[in-house]
Amino acid sequence: MRTNFLFGAVVLVLASGVACRQDMHDQPKYIPLRPTDFFADGRSERQLIDGTVARGHLNDDAVYFDGKTADGKAVEQFPFPVTKDVILRGQTRYNVYCAPCHDRLGEGNGMVVRRGYRHPPSYHIGRLRQAADGYIFDVITNGFGAMPDYAAQIPVRDRWTIVAYVRALQLSHNASVNDVPADARGQLDHPTPVPGGEK
């Protein structure tokens, strides 16, 4: 008799748990991006209410976060000073995220490309040498063509450091003697030996 009572109690508890879960599972809700006839515009997603304050990052600096001016044009300048440390940081981030496709020199012959991935353009073509800094930042952020976006992988500041390093790569391929400071031009004829290099 006691066994039957325990068995009945267990069955009752399990049955009530299933019913509770089913009620929560079937609750009325709007699934994102699904249509609804409840609102006049037919969308379940609603616009933010005027005056809504963002939680976390406000991202209100369009130049820094988007690489664009208020009218949506790509910016021509960096949102912070470009120093040697910025370029070195850009080099490390570039080698991690960009070199697999673009190669370490920016010519578009990375390891992934050599194994069949679509060939990206060289950074050294005229179109990309003339492109605004904000354009390159936007491509890193949102992707372009076969290139995926890297917004989730690369923080905003690091994307800008990569742009600085790309500019350094471009300069290294297209520099002239006039780009070298006058007081350093003598070193071109007598370069400093690299430790462990050829003798």
Query: What would the pLDDT profile of 87-107 be if each residue is shown by its tens digit?
Result: 999 999 999 999 999 999 999
Question: Could you give all domains of the chain from N- to C-terminal order, each with its CATH number?
Answer: 62-175 (1.10.760.10)
pLDDT band at 194 (very low <50, low <70, confident <90, very high): low
pTM: 0.67
- Percent above pLDDT 90 for the chain: 52
Question: What kind and span of H or E run contains 52?
Answer: none
pLDDT value, residue 197: 55
Give the pair of three-digit tokens for residue 24. Answer: 């929560």
The torsion region of residue 75 among left (phi > 0), alpha (psi -120 to 50) and beta comes to beta
Q: With beta carbons less than 8 A apart as the criterion, state whether 31 and 38 touch.
A: no
Angle of the 156-174 helix axis to the 133-142 helix axis, nearest 10: 130
Q: How many degrees, rounded to 5, is the angle at CA 99 between CA 87 and CA 113?
A: 155
In which residue are the tokens 């400093």 written? 192
Q: With beta carbons less than 8 A apart as the criterion, state whether 96 and 153 touch.
A: no
Query: Is it the case that residue 183 has pLDDT exceeding 90?
Result: no
